[in-house]
Structure 1
Amino acid sequence: MTTAAELRACIDKVQATAGKGFDVVDVPTAAGFKIGRAEGAAIVLLTPADTSPEPPTQLQRISLEPSSLLHVRHVDGTVEDGQWGLVQLNLGELEYLDTFLSVVANVIDVIGTAPEPGQVSIAMRRLVRLFDPNPVPRGSVLGLWGELLVLCRVSNTNEMLDSWHSDVDDRFDFAAQGSRLEVKTTTLTTRKHIFSLEQVLPVQGATTSVASVMTTETLAGTSLQRMISNAEQLFASDPGRQMRVHEVVAATLGVEWFRHVDRGFDAQQADESIRIFSALDVPKVSTVPPEVSGVTFTADCSEVAPEIAPYGLAALVAV
């Protein structure tokens, strides 16, 4: 398994020089991979070349070529021309380097040292989702932090991750066959959460539960980046699911997701505060005219009784 710390140590050995090509070092734990620098603050990852490549992709912060003839320089002064896949990250802000390298490490593990034809292209296509400027952010840092907290404490992490923002029912944070779980996180001193009316109405063929979390934002708290790293560690032997963690983070916060990873919240308070209750018990409006849709409201859940025997996804959350 390749780590961000290992890649950072490699990067620190490289100084970008003027001229065509890239200055690189071999990645010790991943045969066939090289990492280094290009002009400016750009970081480059060279992968095994794809023998069945898709077309190159160019975005604002990242460019991808599954197979390209490249000229590279090693730190010992030797030069090499060869066919590699190329990932070029145009950082601009070097303080985010370690965050980017955690993604790069995941990409290396997803591709593997002996990729099948097309596999490099598939990994690069998934990488595009992390930097695609088109999708609108669909959530908040606080909400995402709470979802990661829940994910990291469940008894079946694979099942929980596979249900996270799944296509089964995108109204809920976690959705699986016969079960829905919505995570609500607040920094208020009372257990007040914002719901959409659809989230607390019965779902045919499924039970819906709410995981209510209370915490405090603090500089001394557990950062979002730490929560992401904790989730990565849960899937250390499963690079595909690790990549899924990054994809949900990027889809939730948008293309500038990496700017938010330093925000931190009190994890101990949050962990001790988790309460699971039925969505049907959430205080809500009872009558809505048929001409009205998209109803959202704030509900005080302080007096909602916890579920005695949580079912489905809610039963996976250790409380």
Structure 2
Amino acid sequence: MLDLKGIYENLPLPKNQNSNSYSAKAIKGYENHRIAKNNANNPSLLIFISEENQDFIIANQNLFNIKVSHNLRCEIESEGKVHHNNFSVVSYIGQNNDVKDLFLSTCQIVTKSLGQNPSNKQIKHTVNKFIELFKAVKETPRNSIQGLWCELFLIEQSSFPEKLITGWHSIPEEKFDFSFGKLRFEVKSSASESRIHNFSSRQLNPINDTEIIIASILVSQNVAGFSINDLLSRINNKLNDFPKQKEKLHLLVYSTLGIDVEKVNQIKFDPELAKSSLQFYHSINIPKIQDINIPKEVTNLTFVSNLLNSTPIDSSLDELLNPYIKDN
């Protein structure tokens, strides 16, 4: 696995103090691109531009501590030699070390999606992903750390995490965490000893012949447990042949965390408790307010339901999902 953070940290500052000068190293396996350090000691991704793509225009941007310069003539210092070439340059210009690490992690993910000779479309897609992600880092987090941890835990537990990521919500505000054909999968967690969870009426009342399964997990913070970053690393190791899913995983996690990005390592939960407590329930077996009893004028109804007397499904995660994803 690429270690762009390690490469960046071992780069010296460029000797030339020109703003377009970089100390850089080619990325192994993707030698057309460079991971670089500028004279402000900040990281940059230098994206190769082929001659036929140099007339392609991407607007230069300076937003959310990300600076984008397209078709920039760069002075590259590498292993004692200096040369010049044109690149699309994406740079982090802030001062937060946690966010700097996030930038380097993002470079590590998107490089694989770029490939050696990216098209105009691929370059533009990568630039947009950086802007989208770092905009989210400035915003209020849209999901609890606990909730996100449990979704990642479920992905990590599966024998086919790439398929779970494909079915994972694109934004945290979607009604269900996972969607596979006519199956909807929702993950609920509790930090108490009771399976008491918050639901919206739509999460327990099926529509259009869909099946809804609830995954219930009990969690406990534990300094010796797994952090979100630990789960990310474990999942990433299973996704080497699935760069698109790896990119989605990485970008969605950090856009969900928002300004809580530094907590990827700080908050840890006990994985053994989560594993032993994980149970699945059909929505029809969970106490709820039936749609027929909800006036049409009442919307966005939420309630708390206790699963104490609900019967869990006697099946594993893979057994539940396999009929819906085996052909996808």
> Structure 1: how far apart are the matches of 2:234 and 2:67?
28
Q: Deviations over 1:225-249 (max 9, x none)?
A: 1112222222112222111102221
Task: Supply the AA of the counterpart residue of 1:205.
Answer: D
Alignment of 1:206-217 (within 5 A): 206-217=210-221
Structure 1: runs of 5+ lacking an equivalent: none
RMSD over aligned CA atoms reads 2.7
Q: Which residue of 1 aligns with 2:110?
A: 107
Match of 1:14 in 2: 12
The answer for unaligned runs of 5 or more in structure 2 is: 324-328
Question: Does 1:291 pair with 2:291?
Answer: no
- Contact 2:195 / 2:216 at 8 angstroms: preserved in 1? yes
| Paired amino acid for 1:12 | N
Q: Secondary structure at the match of 2:252?
A: helix
- Alpha-carbon contact 1:8-1:101 (below 8 Å) kept: no
Instruction: Please state whether the residue corresponding to 2:31 is helix, strand or coil.
Output: coil
Which deviates the most, 139-148 or 17-26? 17-26
1:160–1:313 CA contact under 8 A, matched in 2:
no
Match of 2:240 in 1: 236
**TM-superposed deviation, 1:171:** 0.8
* Aligned with 1:248 (options 240, 243, 252): 252
TM-score by length of 2: 0.85
Q: TM-score, normalised by structure 1?
A: 0.87
- Per residue, is there more helix in 1 or in 2? 2
State which drifts further: 303-312 or 175-184. Answer: 303-312
* Stretch deviating more after TM superposition (265-274 or 7-16): 7-16
Distance 1:90 1:220, change over 3 A: farther
Query: In the TM superposition, what are the counterparts of 1:85-104 in structure 2 within 5 Å?
Result: 85-104=88-107
**What is the alpha-carbon distance in structure 2 between the residues aligned to residue 160 and residue 295 of structure 1?**
28
Call closer, same or farther: CA 1:7–1:309 in 2, change over 3 Å: closer
Query: 1:52-99: per-residue Cα shift (whole Å, max 9, x none)?
Result: 3432332222122343222233352x3322101211012412245444
CA drift of 1:151 comes to: 1.0
The total of aligned residue pairs comes to 312
Contact 1:212 1:276 in 2 (8 A): yes
Q: Do the aligned partners of residues 120 and 66 (structure 1) sit closer, same or farther apart at CA in structure 2, a change above 3 Å counting?
A: farther
Q: C-alpha distance in 1, partners of 2:135/2:86?
A: 26
Q: Residue type of the partner of 2:308?
A: S
Number of the residue aligned with 1:159: 163
Displacement, 1:289? 3.3
Letter in 1 for 2:311: A
> Where do residues 75-224 of structure 1 align in structure 2 (5 Å cutoff)?
75-76=79-80, 78-133=81-136, 137-166=141-170, 170-224=174-228
Percent of matched pairs sharing the same residue:
21
CA distance, structure 1, for counterparts of residue 248 and residue 319 of structure 2: 18
Are the aligned partners of 1:20 and 1:71 in contact in 2 as well (CA < 8 Å)? no
Change (3 A) 1:28 1:176: closer
Q: Distance in 2 between matches of 1:310 and 1:149?
A: 14
